[in-house]
Structure 1
Amino acid sequence: MKTRTASCSCGQLSITVHGEPRGVGICHCLACQRRTGSVFAALAGFNAPYTVNGRATEYLRTGDQGAQFLFRFCPVCGSTVYHTEIGYDDKVSVAVGAFADPQFPPPTVSIYDNRRHAWVQLPSDAKVFSKDP
C-alpha cells in the first residue's frame, strides 16, 4: 500500500496517509481562495487511518450548505496542511501542494466553478459543478 506524507512549509506539521486518494478535487469558492491565497484549493481525500506529527492550529468554517470543516494549519509558518469534516472522522482531506509531488494525480472534480477565474484551465475530463454538489 502506498504511503504519502504531506507537510507544511517549515516541516513542523505533517500528515501521513495510506493508499490512493478517494478523490482529488479543486474548489474555487471564495473562502478557499482566501484560505490558500491562491485562486483555488487543490485537495485529495483519504480514508483513515492517518498519522499527524507536530502541532496544528485549527480553524472551523461552516460551508454554504451547513457542513462544518476543521482546517489544520501550522502555527509556525501558517501553511494549511489538512482538514476534516465534522461528523466524518474516518476521512481526511489533504492540501495537494503539501505533498510537494509534481506527479500527484490530477483533479477529477471542480466545485464552485461559478467562481473559477477565467484563465484557470481544468483537465478535460474533470466533472464540473457550479456550486458544491
Structure 2
Amino acid sequence: MERHASCHCGKLVLHCTGEPAKVSLCHCFDCQRRTGSLFSVAAFFRRSSVELPAGMAKAFRRASASGFAVSFHFCPECGSTLWWEPERLPDLIGVAAGAFADPDFPMPQQAVWGDERHGWIELPPEIPLHARNPVKAAPPE
C-alpha cells in the first residue's frame, strides 16, 4: 500500500508505504491551536516507510507535556502542517491524516488529551479516550 499526503497548495508531498503503526486523535490545546480545529488526527508511520520532500518545508520545534520536544514541518507557501517528528517516538513520523484526503483512511485507534476535549464532541465508542498522553519517562538531562 502506498499513500500520498500533501499540503493545501500541493507543493509538499509525502510518500508513505504500508499501513500506519498507529492513528491517534489528539484534543490538546496545542493541537487545537496548530490546526485551527478542535483536534488533530495523526497517522504515525515507521520512519523507514516515509519519503520526505527535499528542502522546502519549514519547521517549528516546541516542548511537549511528555518532556520530549516535537518538530512540526509545514509548507512555507500555504502554511499546512504536513508532518511532525516527536522525540518521544524517534522511530515514527506523524503525518496529518487529513493531508491524505482519503475518506477511507483508517479510523483512530485512540484519542488523547480528553481533558481538553470540547464537551460536545462525541467520538465513536470504538475509540478509547485517554485523559492525557500515555505516560513515558522524560529524557535524561
Name the TM tier (shorter chain).
over 0.9
Match of 2:137 in 1: none
The separation in 2 between residues aligned to 1:65 and 1:6, in whole angstroms, is 27
The separation in 1 between residues aligned to 2:27 and 2:118, in whole angstroms, is 8
The separation in 2 between residues aligned to 1:67 and 1:28, in whole angstroms, is 18
The separation in 1 between residues aligned to 2:24 and 2:85, in whole angstroms, is 15
Deviations 1:82-131 (A, max 9, x none): 00123644311100000000110111100000111112121211121101
Partner SS state of residue 99, structure 2: helix
In the superposition, the TM-score normalised over structure 2's length comes to 0.89
CA contact (8 A) 1:108 1:123 kept: no
CA contact (8 A) 2:46 2:91 kept: yes
The separation in 1 between residues aligned to 2:99 and 2:82, in whole angstroms, is 6
Q: What runs of 5+ residues in structure 1 fail to find an aligned partner? A: none
The separation in 2 between residues aligned to 1:85 and 1:59, in whole angstroms, is 12
Match of 1:63 in 2: 64
Q: What runs of 5+ residues in structure 2 fail to find an aligned partner? A: 135-141
Aligned residue type for 2:52: V
Aligned residue type for 2:37: S
CA RMSD between the two structures: 1.2
1:9-48 maps to which residues of 2 (within 5 A)?
A: 9-48=8-47
Match of 1:85 in 2: 86
CA contact (8 A) 1:62 1:68 kept: yes
Runs ≥4 in structure 1, deviation > 6 angstroms? none
Match of 1:109 in 2: 110
The separation in 2 between residues aligned to 1:121 and 1:30, in whole angstroms, is 17
Partner SS state of residue 10, structure 2: coil
Deviation larger for 81-90 or 95-104 = 81-90
Partner SS state of residue 93, structure 2: strand
Identity among equivalent pairs (%): 40
Match of 2:52 in 1: 52
CA contact (8 A) 2:68 2:88 kept: no
In the superposition, the TM-score normalised over structure 1's length comes to 0.94
Partner SS state of residue 34, structure 2: helix
The alignment of Structure 1 onto Structure 2 pairs a total of residues equal to 132
CA contact (8 A) 1:26 1:110 kept: yes
